Amino acid sequence: MLGLQSCQQNKPADTAATAAVKLLSPNFDADSAYAYIKVQVDFGPRIPSTPAHAKTAAYLVAKLTSFGGDVSVQQAPIKTYDGKTHQLKNIMAAFYPEKKQRILITAHWDARPFSDEDPNMGMRDKQFDAANDGASGVAVILEMARQIQQQQPAVGVDFILWDLEDYGSTNDETPHESTWCLGSQYWAKHQPTKAYKPLYAINLDMVGGSNAQFTQDEVSRKYAPSVMSKVWSIANEIGYGNYFINVTSGTLIDDHYWINQAGIPAIDIIHYSDAAGFYNNWHTQLDNLNNIDRNTLKAVGQTVLETIYREKPAAL
């Protein structure tokens, strides 16, 4: 994603606030989500046009199908900023497709081809695991899909795993012609289902780092303020206010930007602040399993699940 200034493996702890609130959602299993991150990392960096990328795509399709999702893959040849062409694979899964009122949850599944923010200049052209920046959001979605199969919410849920999100130029500062988020850009311009209008969308990005804090970015505030307020309020109510903080931040050109361009109110849950920037191991060799925190996975997964399960379909 492109940021513009206005772009431990610990066991999850049950908070007193969470215990005091009766959740409508099933229990989000952070150990299960962590295991899904490990599977992705074990394939290797999910860089487009590599065997690891192909194997991961097959795994994600099979896993979402096994959870009862109606799965399809949007494919197209896409040229990246470096002149190469890659086969885009946006992986889409609909749960309870008969339900008219729906919520869309998304994350990107590809890995950046190089660790260009690594403090060691000699490592900046090297591949990295992308455990948080990519795999964590996918893992949260897989665990949510597993739970949604077992306990049906009142609304339908769609998941999209974006491809070619993280293959952008570091010199790109033109959001309307961005070299980033190519999967969501393509989808926004070539939607496979005409007139697709979920109630809203939530994008997940870097949702597994230790001591994560999720600020309220400008794009989310502009296009979907009521959705952002709802999600942050639920997080605070169920005990995760130390993650979902009431601090504003600048413009982020992440996948939610392009979802909004398709006319769907969308917010971003992303480890970012104007003061500190992105997750401190962002695009470095240290974005690996050792720096994934189950507590953060739990906070995000439970908050988004609770948001889904509190939705009641309006009379049609």
State how many domains the chain has. Answer: 1
- Average pLDDT, 10 consecutive residues per value, the chain (316 residues): 45 50 95 98 98 98 98 97 96 97 98 96 97 98 98 98 95 72 97 92 98 97 98 98 96 94 97 94 97 98 98 77
> Taking the model in full, what pTM does it have?
0.93
Give the pLDDT score at 178: 86
- Evaluate whether residue 84 is within a structural domain: yes
HSE at residue 192, side-chain half, CA atoms within 13 A, is 15
Give the pLDDT score at 15: 47
- Evaluate whether residue 316 is within a structural domain: no
- Evaluate whether residue 212 is within a structural domain: yes
- Evaluate whether residue 315 is within a structural domain: no
CATH number of the structural domain spanning residue 242:
3.40.630.10
- Evaluate whether residue 104 is within a structural domain: yes
Q: What is the pLDDT of residues 256-265, one digit of tens each?
A: 999 999 999 9
- Evaluate whether residue 154 is within a structural domain: yes
Q: 192: helix, coil or strand?
A: coil
Give the pLDDT score at 316: 53
| DSSP code, position 84 | -
Give the pLDDT score at 16: 43
Cα–Cα distances (Å) from 185 to 67, 115, 181, 255, in that order, read: 27, 23, 6, 8
Q: 204: helix, coil or strand?
A: strand
Nearest to 112 by CA among 85, 132, 142: 132
What is the span of the domain harbouring residue 85? Answer: 2-310
- Strand partners of residue 300: none
